[in-house]
Amino acid sequence: MKRTRIIELLRGELVGQTVLVKGWVRTKRGNKAVSFIALNDGSIIHNLQIVVDLEKFDSELLAKVTTGASLSVTGMLVASQGQGQSVELQAHEIEVLGTADPATYPLQKKGHSLEFLREIAHLRPRTNTFGAIYRMRHHMAMAIHTFFHERGYFYVHTPLITASDAEGAGQMFQVTTLDLDNLPRTEDGAVDYREDFFARHTSLTVSGQLEGEMAALALGGIYTFGPTFRAENSNTPRHLAEFWMIEPEVAFLEIDENMDLAEDFIKYCVQWALDHCMDDLTFLAEHFDSELISRLRFVLEKPFKRMTYTEGIEILEAAIKGGRKFEFPIYWGADLASEHERYLVEEHFQRPVIVTDYPKEIKSFYMKLNDDGKTVRGMDVLFPKIGEIIGGSEREADLEKLMKRASEMGVPEKDIWWYLDSRRYGTAPHSGFGLGFERLLLFVTGMTNIRDVIPFPRTPRNAEF
C-alpha cells in the first residue's frame, strides 16, 4: 500500500477507506482502553489523530510510541467524534520505525524558547512553529518564481565567488585555497595571490545586481534569487552573514514602472501567503503575533504612498517641531534610520511608503543621477514593523555620468570594465531592485528574529551544522 500524506487525509475524501500513514508522534494520551496518538508528517501543521484500541496492541510496542518516535500506521479513516478534527484513523497495524528516548529527546517537553531551538536547528523543523515557517519559506520562494515566470522574466544565476567589490556594500568574506600555515609570498613579502585558486584575491558576493544587469540588457527582464554574504560583525536580530536575495533587473524600465513592479511583486507574495498558507499563518498569529493576518491584509488594501526623500525629511522635521522625539538626528543629507522609516509608515501615512530621489552621497554609484545633480533615482520600499524591505533604483544608463559617479565613489574602473561595456554598447534605460528574502519572511511570518526564518543561520561566531 502507498503512503498517503496527512494533508490529503484531512481533506476527508478517503473516509471509510483503509490507508497507510507515516509520520512522527507529537503526543500520546488516553485512558485504560484507548490511546490517542497525534501524528504529524510535515505536510501540514495539523496532526492526524490515531485511535488505538489497547486490547488489540502489544503494550511493549505502545511503550515505544513516545513523542518524536516515527511510526507507520495502517488503519481505517473515519469521521471523528472528537473536537478539533474532522477525521481520525482507527489503527489496525502500527510499526515503530524509530524510537525517541523520552529521557534524552530534546523536544520532549513543550514550550521551548526560540533561543533554545536555535541551538538545535537540526531538530527544530519538527516543531509546529518551524514547520509553519519553513512551509511558508517554500511558498514565498514559489510565489517569487511564479510571479516572474508568468511575466516573462528569466531566472539568472549570478556568481557567488567574485573578484570585485564594486558594490562597496560592506565587509566581504575572503575565499581562498591558499594554505594559511604556509602562505606563498611575492618577492616583496606580500601574499602571492597568483598561487590562489583563481590566481587573484576573491571574495563572496554581496549582490548579483551588476551581473544581473548584463543579462537584463540582453534578455529584457531577469531576476536573481541566490545567497549573498556580509562579513559584518553585527550580532542583531536583523543581520545574517549569509542570506538570500531576489534581484530583478529590467531593461527599458524607468523609475515609475520600477515602483509599480516592486509594489505588484510584494503584494503578489503577500496575497500568495494568504491564499496558500492560512493554516500556518493562523498558528503563527495565535502564538506569536495576533495582528499578523490583519497586517498582511493591510498592505494589500491601499496603493503604497510614493514620495521623495525631500518630502520625507520635511514631514520628519515637522514632526520634530510638533514634539515627536527621535533617537537619531535627521536632516537633508542624512540616511533615514529605522525609527524614521517606521514613523512615516506606521504613524504618518499608515501604509507602506516608497521613498525616491535620495541624495547621491548616501546611495551607490550605479543609481541614475537626476537633472538636479544632487539626487539619484533610488527607491526604498518601507514596510510596517520591518522598515526597508526593498531597495532599488533606475540605473545610470549614460556611460560618461556612470564613470564620473564611479570615480567620485572610489570604484576603480579596472574592476568594472565589463559593467561599463554595457553602457558603451547598446545602453538602455533600465531599473531593478533587491528584496532580502528573510526580510520578506519576517514580515509574512510575524517572527522578530531573522535567525528564525532561515533553516541554518550564519552569524558571528556561529556556523554550526
The H-or-E segment that residue 390 falls in is strand 387-394
The least distance separating a second copy from the CB of residue 456, rounded to whole angstroms, comes to 4
DSSP 381: E
Amino acid identity for residue 26 in this structure:
R
Q: Among residues 39, 51, 89, 131, which is the contact residue for a second copy, using CB under 8 A?
A: 131
Find the helix or strand (DSSP H, E) in which 249 lies: strand 242-251
CB of 110 to a second copy, least distance (A): 16
Residues touching a second copy, count (CB under 8 A): 108
Rounded least distance, CB 173 to a second copy, Å? 5
Rule CB under 8 A: choose which of 42, 54, 256, 370 binds a second copy: 42
Binding window for a second copy (CB under 8 A); candidates: 308-316, 375-383, 406-414, 457-465: 457-465
Sort strands 221-229 and 154-155 into parallel, antiparallel or unpaired. parallel
What distance in Å separates the CA atoms of residue 463 and residue 80, rounded to the nearest whole number? 46
- Residues 325 and 343: their CA atoms lie apart, in Å, by 11
Nearest approach, Cβ of 185 to a second copy (angstroms)?
10
Work out whether the CA dihedral 196, 202, 204, 208 comes out positive or negative: negative
In order of 129, 242, 243, 453, the CA distances from 457 in angstroms are 16, 7, 8, 8
Burial track 145-157 (b if 16+ CB lie within 10 A, e otherwise): eebbeeeebeebe
**Closer Cβ to a second copy, 83 or 182, answer by number:** 182
CB of 311 or CB of 415, closer to a second copy:
415
Give dist(CA 210, CA 245) in Å, integer: 14
Among positions 43-102, residues that touch a second copy (CB under 8 A) are 43, 68-70, 72, 97-101
Identity of the residue, 312 or 434, whose beta carbon is nearer to a second copy in the bound complex: 434
Interface residue with a second copy among 427, 433, 451, 452 (CB under 8 A) is 427
Shortest Å, Cβ 349 to a second copy: 28
Residue 426 CB, nearest approach to a second copy (Å): 4
Count of residues making up the chain: 465
Question: Where in 298-317 is the site for a second copy (CB under 8 A)?
Answer: none
Name, in order, each residue with C-beta under 8 angstroms of 170's C-beta and a sequence gap of 6 or more.
Answer: 206, 230, 231, 232
- Give the nearer residue to a second copy in terms of CB position, either 200 or 325: 200
Q: What residues contact 226, with CB distance under 8 A and at least 6 apart?
A: 157, 158, 160, 208, 244, 245
Does residue number 147 form part of the binding site for a second copy (CB under 8 A)? Answer: no
Q: Within positions 171 to 200, which residues make up the interface with a second copy, using CB under 8 A? A: 171, 173-178, 180-181, 183, 190-191, 197-200
Residue from 41, 88, 167, 394 binding a second copy (CB under 8 A): 41
Interface with a second copy in residues 196-255 (CB under 8 A): 197-200, 202, 204, 211, 214-215, 217-221, 226-227, 229, 231, 233, 241-242, 244, 251-252
Query: Within positions 391 to 410, which residues make up the interface with a second copy, using CB under 8 A?
Result: 397
Q: Does 458 bind a second copy (CB under 8 A)?
A: yes
- The span of 81-89, 110-118, 356-364, 424-432 binding a second copy (CB under 8 A) equals 424-432
**Range 375-394, binding a second copy (CB under 8 A):** none
Q: Is residue 461 at the binding interface for a second copy, with CB under 8 A as the rule?
A: yes
Out of 14, 78, 114, 163, which residue is the one contacting a second copy (CB under 8 A)?
163
CA distance 225 to 247: 7
Which CB sits closer to a second copy, 382 or 411? 411
> Using CB under 8 A, which of 48, 65, 156, 382 touches a second copy?
156
The secondary element (H helix, E strand) that includes residue 410 is none
Report the nearest approach of a second copy to the CB of residue 82 (Å). 24
Single out the segment in contact with a second copy by CB under 8 A; choices: 20-28, 297-305, 309-317, 332-340: 20-28
Shortest distance, CB of residue 306 to a second copy, whole angstroms? 19
The answer to whether the beta carbons of residues 100 and 66 sit under 8 Å apart is yes
Q: Could you tell me the three cell numbers for 213? A: 544587469
Q: Which is nearer to a second copy, 126 or 342 (CB)?
A: 126
Phi-psi region of 71 (alpha: psi -120 to 50; beta: other; left: phi over 0): beta
| 227 vs 158: CA distance, rounded Å | 10
Cell of 415: 574592476
Cβ of residue 188: shortest distance to a second copy, in angstroms? 12
Q: Which of 61, 58, 69, 60 is nearest to 102 (CA)?
A: 69
Cβ atoms of 213 and 367 within 8 Å: the answer is: no
Alpha-carbon distance values, 358 to 163, 335, 418 (Å)? 29, 9, 27
Return the residues of window 100-129 that contact a second copy according to CB under 8 A: 100-101, 104-107, 120, 122-123, 125-126
Distance in Å, CB of 224 to a second copy, minimum: 10
Report the candidate in 73, 70, 7, 88 with the shortest Cα–Cα distance to residue 43: 7
